[in-house]
Each structure stands twice: as C-alpha cells, then as structure tokens.
Amino acid sequence: MTTLQKSLIGIFIFISICLGLMWRAGQVVADASLVWYSVIPPLLAVTLAILTTRLILSLGIAVGIGLGLAWTRQDVTGGIATGKSLLWEIVWFAREVTIKNEPNIDLFNIWVILFVLLIMATIAVVVASGGIAGVVTWLSRFAKGPRSTQIITAVMGIVIFIGDYSNAMLVGPTMRPLTDYHRVSREKLAYIVDSTSAPIAGLAFVSTWIGYEVGLFNDVAKSIGIERDGYSMFFDALGFRFYCILTIIFVIVNAISGRDYGAMRKAEARARETGAVAEPDAQLVGDTTSSEIAPSAATHPFSAVLPLLTLFSLLLGGFWVDGQGTGTIFSLTAWRDALSNADNVKVLAIAAASGFFVAIVCARGLSNMRFADIGTAVWNGVKSSFIPLSILLLAWGLKASCDRLMTGAFLAAMLQDVVSPLWFPILVFTCASACSFATGTSWGTMAILIPTAIPVAFALDGNIYGLTTIICLGAVLDGAIFGDHCSPLSDTTILSSIASNCAPLHHVRTQLPYALTVAGIAFVCGYLPAALNISSAIGIAAGTGLIVLLFYGLSRLRSS
C-alpha cells in the first residue's frame, strides 16, 4: 500500500468518525458544554502519528488545534476565555504543562520532569561505570536464552510493584543489555515493561496508585451513600480486575512459550535472525548515547546495585515518612494511609536525586571512574532525556486541551445511555478504554468515570451496593489501564519506550494486538460471566486456559 493510499484511508476514517460523533452527539448529549469536536485533538494526534510516524510533529499539531478549538469555543460560549487573546491562551498552556493554573500551583509535572532527568543521568552513570555490565553478568547465569531472559524481566516487573514510573525506569535499563545480548527485540522488552508496570501498580495493595484509587472510591461512596470505605471497595473489586490479572498471566505464558504473533512476531524474528533488536528506521527516544563502559572504569556490579537499591529503598521510606505513616510497617492499613497522604512524585524525584548521588560516589569509589568521564556520562544522560521530555510535555499539553474541551466527559456521555445491568460493566470498560486511549491518561479517566459511571451502576443495582456496582469499580480501573496501554499519547507508554530504548510507535504497534487479545478474553471470560453471577475465579481460570491454549496452538502450528 502506497503512502498516498494510506493517507486517503486515514483521512476517510478520521472524517467518518467525526461525522458519526457529530450525529450521535445530537441524539444523546443534552449538555451544551459537551461538544463533538472535543475529540478532534486526540483523534488527530493518533491519526497523524500513524500516518507520519512522527510523534512530536503529530502531538504538536494536535496540541495547536486543541488550544485553538478551546480558545474559540470558550470565546463563543462566554466561558472564562471571553475577551482573552490567543497569546493569553498560550500562556495558560505553558503554565498548565508546568505549574498548572488556578486555583493552586501544582508541581506534579515539574517533579516528573526532574525525575526523568535524574533517572536518565543515573542510568547513564551506572552504565558508563560498568555497574549494569556487572549486574548483567550476574543475571546471565540465570538467563540462558531469549525465553529465560523474558521470564526474568517479567518477574522483575512483578516484584518492583511500588509504582508504574519507578517500575519502568528500573526494569527497562537494567534488563536491556541482557535482552539485547539474547536477541530479544526492543519491542518485546517495552511490552514486558509496560505490561508489568501499570497493571502491577494498579493491583498492588501498597503502591503509588492505591491512595489515588481509594480516594476516588471514598468520594463516590460518600456521594451516593455506600456505607463502605474506599480500601474495602478496592478489595471488593480486586477479583474483577480481569484485564490487569490476565495481562500479567499473558506476559508470563508468552515468555514461557517463546511464541509470538502479529507485529511482535515480525519484530522477534528480525531480532533473532539479524541481531537487529530495533528497526533500522526506529526513532528512539531513550538513551541514544553509547552504552559502552567508560575507558577509565572497572566493572563492578555494586556500582549499579547500590544506586538502584538506594532509589528503591528511599521510595518506600519516602512514601512512609512523607505520608506520615504510623504503626507497624507490616500493616496494609498504615501503608494505605501513608500512600494516600504522600506527595508521590516529589518522593520519586528526591529518591532519584539520591540514587544519582550514590551512582556518582560508586562510579568514583568502586569503579575508579575519572571525574571527566563521570561528567560526560551525566551530560549524555541529560541529553538523552530531551526528546522524551518534549514528548511528555506535548502529551500533557494535549491532555490540557482535552480537559478544556471536556473530551472525557463527552465520551462518557456518549456511552452511558440506558443499558441493562448485564451489559453495563462491559459498556463501562469500553467507555474507560476509549477515554483513556483518547486522552492518554488512566488516572484522569478514573477521575471522570468513577463519579459518573458508579452512580449509574448503583442505580441499576436498585440503589444497593450490589454486584453490578462492584464489577463496574473494577471495569473503570481496568479499562483506564487498557486504553492507556493502547494509546501512543500515554505517559506510561512513552516512559516504557524510553526505558527500553524503543520507538514509541513501534512499541504501540506491537503491543496493540496483545492488549486487544487480553481485552477480548476479559470480555468473554470475565465481565460477561461475572455479570451473570458466575464466580470471578472461574472467569480468571477460564481466561488463563484460553491464553495457554492460544500459545499451545501457536506452538503446534509452527511445529507442523
């Protein structure tokens, strides 16, 4: 298919979706503040990214269009931007992606930027000092080939459960030299990293996610009169987190089987047969500098172990101290309260700064690395963060445009029509997936849909805390993560690509078939049977059986 044909098909699909949404909005959306063209910025970003393979350009155009639409719409409807110039809108945008706008200054994005800068510099130092090489030498005793390497990577992703950002930035760079050596494609590494970050953090009893999820559950429980605390609601919904649970099972079975399909199979075949772990034309956003050890450095595994151990230990300790944890550290309730109160991203940045300092000390003290080489490594790490940070800023800008245009609320209104309790959890999952895919944020999707969808589920249950309500709690969280997995606009997608040194669009293209497969299995074996009051354990077991059969069938097919 030629470029012109692809472009024409893309334009046709884009226009068709817009026309369909325009018609549908006139039928079901009564709120005048919700407009169909609010979906144009994210839809345009995805379309351009697919057609041009230039993510920064695509995001930049979409952000510009989004800001223009938001400014024009608010000027026409008499909103807060009435009488304001486009220059004012640009200033608003600059503040929104950095320190946020009114009512209060929010440094979340600033802390994330510092975290990425520091973690990239730390990684560059531990690589140049020979620390990663030492860890890889130790791990290589257990990794005998592509399968065992993938299994070890998956296990590391599961063990480092504290948060999706820290998970991705620890697992990816640590395992990348080993996966490269055993000719595992960068696309496969990015998939494993991405699929064991948010799903694990979202399921973990103690993580950077639990406080946010519990807080949303507490709020909706108070608003509709559910006499149950948010942490209990989290545990109630845990058995209905079909997508996250089956994703982790899928990753492990996939690694054990050594079989792949779709775009991932082509990527793995390329890596095995040619040794090219990334596509020749891949536009990498991770560490594009040399991964060689500095000439003055002596390989020492503790040059990597100590900085990473410092980082991980301070993450746990920081969450506990900043969240004013009380009681025993073995209490889940105490950790829930601490994580709810902690400024999580600030702790990430401070822990990264500490890890960076320890990395420099170890590079000098253990690996005998010269200060000049340390400085070069730090600068290389900082430089390698410029492109991913540009993408992150644009992704945040697109989210700001979507917030201004109320894209998430529009999608929620489109999908929350009158529906039976049997189909409502599936509709909620679909709505959460679409909202997360379009906006690139799982947390934002949760914030939109938990207050809007859960009261509907509660009403369908006859105003009692019943099965439909509990399933929908899980469906919102899972759908948000599924859409986030599929979206090239997601910050976790981008960070997984950074950590794995994989082109983001190549990561999305190869991960998408796997994510869709698991979502389909979650539909068939999970949400639909659960709505019929079939045990969720049976659904998970059936889903696991289907995954095993899938890869067993692939093994039989390839061997015949």
pLDDT in tens, 23-81: 877 776 666 677 888 888 878 877 787 677 676 788 788 888 888 887 776 554 444 44
Q: What is the pLDDT of residues 362-402, one digit of tens each?
A: 998 888 888 888 898 889 888 877 876 777 777 777 777 87
Binning pLDDT at 50, 70 and 90, where does residue 194 land? Answer: very high
Whether cis (ω within 30° of 0) applies to the bond prior to 103 is yes
Residues 6+ positions from 103 with CB-CB distance below 8 Å = none
Residues 6+ positions from 447 with CB-CB distance below 8 Å = 216
Binning pLDDT at 50, 70 and 90, where does residue 549 land? Answer: very high
Binning pLDDT at 50, 70 and 90, where does residue 479 land? Answer: very high
**Half-sphere exposure for 526 (CA within 13 Å, toward CB):** 30
Binning pLDDT at 50, 70 and 90, where does residue 105 land? Answer: confident
Mean pLDDT is highest, among 154-158, 262-266, 441-445, 451-455, for: 262-266
d(CA 243, CA 478): 6
d(CA 120, CA 132): 14
State residue 243's pLDDT score: 95
Q: Above pLDDT 70, what percent of the chain?
A: 86
* 428 has pLDDT over 70: yes
Does residue 196 contact residue 252 with C-beta atoms inside 8 Å? Answer: no
* 288 has pLDDT over 50: no
Short-list 393, 513, 505, 514, CA closest to 50: 505
State residue 249's pLDDT score: 95
Binning pLDDT at 50, 70 and 90, where does residue 537 land? Answer: very high
pTM score of the predicted model = 0.71
Among the residue ranges 85-89, 125-129, 481-485, the one predicted with the least confidence is: 85-89
State residue 515's pLDDT score: 93
Binning pLDDT at 50, 70 and 90, where does residue 539 land? Answer: very high
Phi, psi dihedrals of residue 533, rounded to the nearest 5°:
70, 30
Phi, psi dihedrals of residue 297, rounded to the nearest 5°:
-90, 145
List for the chain the helix, strand, coil content (%; round to 5): 75, 0, 25
- Mean pLDDT across the chain, nearest whole number? 81
Residues 6+ positions from 446 with CB-CB distance below 8 Å = 212, 213, 216, 432, 476, 477, 480
First vs last C-alpha separation in the chain: 31
Phi, psi dihedrals of residue 489, rounded to the nearest 5°:
-95, -5
Binning pLDDT at 50, 70 and 90, where does residue 208 land? Answer: low
State residue 79's pLDDT score: 45
More confident: 251 or 557: 251
Please, what's the b/e burial string for 213-244 (b: 16 or more CB within 10 A of its CB; e: otherwise)?
A: bbebbbebbeebebeeebbebbebbbbbbbbb
Residues 6+ positions from 79 with CB-CB distance below 8 Å = 73
d(CA 525, CA 528): 7
State residue 80's pLDDT score: 44
Supply 219's token pair.
């709020």
Among the residue ranges 75-84, 109-118, 297-306, 455-464, the one predicted with the least confidence is: 75-84
d(CA 232, CA 41): 38
Short-list 554, 52, 47, 1, CA closest to 258: 554
State residue 192's pLDDT score: 94
Mean pLDDT of 450-473: 83
Binning pLDDT at 50, 70 and 90, where does residue 431 land? Answer: confident
* 280 has pLDDT over 70: yes
Mean pLDDT of 285-311: 73
d(CA 72, CA 86): 9
d(CA 505, CA 54): 9
State residue 63's pLDDT score: 84
* 530 has pLDDT over 60: yes
d(CA 285, CA 298): 28
Mean pLDDT of 260-267: 91
